[in-house]
Amino acid sequence: MKIACICCTYNRPQQLAEAIESFQRQTYPLKKRELIVLDDAGQYDEQTGPGWWLLSVGKRFRTLGEKRNVTAALASADVDAYAVWDDDDIYLPWHLEAMARVFESGVPWSLPDEVWIDRRASLERKRTGGLFHGSWGFTRETFLSVGGYPPMQSGQDQALAARFRKAGVQVVSPDGLPSYIYRWFTYENARHISSLGKDGYEQRGQEPIVRREVMVPEWGRDWEEMVGKVDVAR
């Protein structure tokens, strides 16, 4: 089961470095995973690393839904499934392993029931019922069968979920400790589109872009250690 992690990014170099590092730390075999990062700010030189590819173009996509579809289309031909890989969130080392078990059981949509919420100084384990799109995974066949994401801005994630549900796609939450950390608190000038209203995508497109020729993947803190502290406290 080969999984392509699909990551759309725009002017979030510090967070993107952590997202790529999250991919590099995955315990799922490297030959069975890849990461496609698509930037439409023209912020970087094209770059590759172990299993990952950062492609940067200077023309902004019309909608986020279309950008997500293009990112998925760039995955290798032998990919069996997609994992959403948001540029401002953290994926713990067992994330893809847990997702692969869902697909290997015959279920095409992985929808984690629990996630971690970043509270800056600590993490909170929270039951969300699969709310956070950044934690989802789905098979390529299922994604293509519903036509992918609709060409829209905010809400394209829930619109995809609606397409899945209308098609009767089977869904399950991965077993084990949650593997996804949602971060609302972001670095300076890395605002969430959902916090900016209906024209948030356009607002972010007007931000000044600082050119970064090289992306150096790294975690700003030891996220796995933070999870361990919370789990022990439970």
Domain residues of the chain, as ranges?
A: 3-233
Residue 221 has pLDDT above 90, yes or no: yes
Amino acid at 76: S
Q: Does the pLDDT at position 29 exceed 50? A: yes
d(CA 34, CA 57) in angstroms, rounded, equals 20
83-104 confidence digits (pLDDT tens): 999 999 999 999 999 999 999 9
Cα 196 versus chain centre, distance: 20
Q: Other C-beta atoms within 10 Å of 126: how many? A: 14
Please give the average per-residue pLDDT across 48-57, as a whole number: 97
**pLDDT computed for residue 189 by the predictor:** 47
**CATH of region 3-233, choose from 1.10.1200.10, 3.90.550.10, 1.20.58.100, 3.40.50.720:** 3.90.550.10
| The pair of three-digit structure tokens given for residue 116, joined into one six-digit string | 């971690």
DSSP code, position 151: S
Give the β-pairing of 33-39 and 81-84: unpaired
Q: What average pLDDT is seen over the chain?
A: 90
How many Å apart are CA 193 and CA 70, to the nearest integer? Answer: 19
Mean pLDDT of 108-129: 93
Work out the pLDDT band at 191, boundaries 50, 70, 90. Answer: low
pLDDT band at 109 (very low <50, low <70, confident <90, very high): very high
Q: Please answer whether residues 112 and 130 qualify as being in contact, where contact means their C-beta atoms are separated by less than 8 angstroms.
A: yes
The 137-139 sheet, strands edge to edge = 47-49, 52-56, 33-39, 3-9, 81-84, 137-139, 109-110, 171-172
- Containing 55, the helix (H) or strand (E) segment is strand 52-56
Token look-up 């869904």 returns 171
Q: Which amino acid is at 193?
A: I
